[in-house]
Chain A
């Protein structure tokens, strides 16, 4: 075969891809994040394929939520970089919707369900402009997509956990983004809500959107997602679910035994602590 491309790009090796591919809605390059002295993410390298549903999977404390937060600039990177469609996040904010964990807000806050969904419109409204009829209609349509239109006037404290989650997803839909980063969208929701949410996410994927979701239920990963990113501080494996969801990979992700590297790191940390 004649070499049509420069040799670097011709190798089908992930590490050889250009640093921030403009095709990938989200490329995470060598990201390390540390809280105090403990690294939470170590050299994470990952390109999200466009138009896919990608699950971030790993045990508690593996850095799944932190990866989303680091990508969105909510926690500082110790090193590495993140690009969205090859651009810095600040340039493409509107195209990226974030669904935080439900527990991250106070549900006693005095707002209605429709108010929360309409918050997805604030980015395009800009400073000082009030939420108008068009925005309310758009927010209402999004509530309808998640089956919450009947609750539009309710105070958010009256909702069940699954309903709260659906309202958060409606808020993200109202943003009309191209990439959706979701932190455990199916955590603690009932079976009917799970079906509704998966239906909505499937609709987004059919429309060419990309979804990256932290997911805790290993059993449903192959059914719901196309791709998976297995992490436990480091990336264990990434790619199409069928190829990635292997016993050795899952064992490496969830396995109880510390690797030699981790032991060495902990030893080092203890020594440093002793020297302070």
Chain B
């Protein structure tokens, strides 16, 4: 058996290499296309589409079986998948057009009904004499062991096409995703551009069926762009990061699946993507949970230390609550306060800092009756350095104008 490294460096034989290329291209293209579906708030439509491919797969099988006996013609299966997938999306849009149901309910209804129809058809197929329906269940959860170089080429071609269309229409798709009313007023065909995105979603979903299966393919469209959003505020960067995350997940899933023959590749790819998403959710520099918890804690500590400084100016006193105890600790470590038998007292540096703070607050209150924003007031000195002279004049002018409460 080959090692992970061998697989990722294409040294594990032709079939493994084919699967690896297919999964990476699928991951990249699904991420790039999915980014626009997510930004246009159409991501769950892709889920309806994925589930609605099942009856088409079964029908494709039955029709091709009627003609040549085995029924496992990839083209027939994928054409059938596309057909009912599109019908499923149209059904959702038809229900929405009647304005009787909300989008989530419409998607849920269509998704489950189509999947149910597909499941019934599949069980009929398995009862057919002589039909080799074993491969069909792979299309539900994904199984690339059967992926041949033809399939990989199909994925590569479709993926390259999808990425090329997005690159070509980048400006237009971004405009429609951000502000569709403005786009319509400017004369852009919003419905046509939405259709273009849904077409690309369909293409990626259908070619992705063999790799990750129809239940999990939506994850490849949604998770990488959602994960990429944690790391950047720029759409261009987000598309690149999403593509990298999608491609890396595809490679990781393909490699682990090749090492451990019986783990389903679709699930592995999605787990890789999910792990990357989780890492971003926790650890991304500005949008991550850890960063935001740290920011909040810092601000609280700052507020508590300022409060304690001013309080200690009036003499020793006891801290109230955890934040103030932490603040006392911080003040001692910074040399602004010291422990004495009488309790905590300010050092000379601490007294100076506390007086500065009082002065700053008085500066603001005297002028405007309040301090700006939340938290401790910026010192008058800082104000003069940070604010433009024009703004200071305007602030002063306002205070002279008798605007004070």
Please list the residues of chain A having a beta carbon within 8 angstroms of any beta carbon in chain B: 36, 69, 72-74, 90, 93, 96, 98, 100, 104-106, 109-112, 115-116, 119, 122-123, 125, 127-131, 155, 157, 171, 192
| Contacting residue for A105 out of B178, B238, B394, CB 8 A | B178
The answer, yes or no, to whether B181 is at the interface (CB within 8 Å) is yes
Question: Nearest-CB distance from B405 to chain A (Å)?
Answer: 15
Complex CA distance for A157 and B234, rounded to whole angstroms: 12
Contact of A74 among B168, B171, B181, B238 (CB under 8 A): B181
- Per-residue A-contact encoding for B185-218, CB less than 8 Å = 1, 0 else: 1111000000000000000000000000000000
Q: Across the interface, do A110 and B185 meet the contact criterion of CB distance under 8 Å?
A: no
- Tell me the bound Cα distance from A100 to B99 in angstroms: 24
Partner of A111, one of B168, B172, B174: B174
Q: Chain B contacts of A122 at CB under 8 A? A: 171-172, 175, 186, 188
Scan B236-251; emit 1 where CB is below 8 A from any A CB, else 0: 0010000000000000
Q: How far is the CB of A183 from chain B (nearest CB, A)?
A: 10
B39 within 8 A of A: yes
Q: Is the CB of A93 within 8 A of B186?
A: yes
Docked-complex contact A119 and B39, CB < 8 angstroms: no
Q: Which residues of A contact B238 (CB under 8 A)?
A: 110
Chain A residue with minimal CB distance to B179? Answer: A105
Please report the C-alpha to C-alpha distance between residue A132 and residue B316 in the assembled complex, in whole angstroms: 64
Main secondary structure of the interface of B (DSSP, over half): helix
Of A69, A98, A131, A192, most B-chain CB atoms within 10 Å: A98
29 contacts between A and B (CB under 8 A): A72-B184, A73-B184, A74-B181, A74-B185, A96-B185, A100-B181, A100-B182, A104-B179, A104-B181, A105-B178, A109-B178, A109-B235, A110-B232, A110-B233, A110-B238, A111-B235, A115-B174, A115-B235, A116-B178, A119-B179, A122-B171, A122-B172, A122-B175, A123-B186, A127-B172, A128-B169, A131-B171, A155-B233, A171-B182
For A157, list chain B residues within 8 Å (CB). 233
Q: Kindly list 16 other residue pairs between chains A and B, CB separation below 8 angstroms, not including A110-B229, A128-B171, A129-B171.
A: A69-B181, A72-B184, A74-B181, A74-B185, A93-B186, A98-B181, A109-B39, A109-B177, A109-B178, A109-B235, A111-B178, A116-B178, A119-B175, A122-B171, A128-B169, A157-B233
Cα distance, A192 to B169, chains bound together (Å): 39
Q: Which residues of B contact A125 (CB under 8 A)?
A: 171
With A110-B229, A110-B238 given, is the CB distance from A93 to B185 under 8 Å?
A: yes
Pairs A-B, 6 closest by C-beta atoms: A155-B233, A98-B185, A123-B186, A110-B235, A93-B187, A105-B179
B295–chain A nearest beta-carbon distance, Å: 14
Is the pair A90, B234 in contact by a Cβ cutoff of 8 Å?
no
Measured in the bound complex, the distance between the Cα atoms of B268 and A8 in whole Å is 78
B234: nearest residue on chain A (CB-CB)? A110
Interface hub of B39, B181, B188 (most chain A Cβ within 10 A): B181
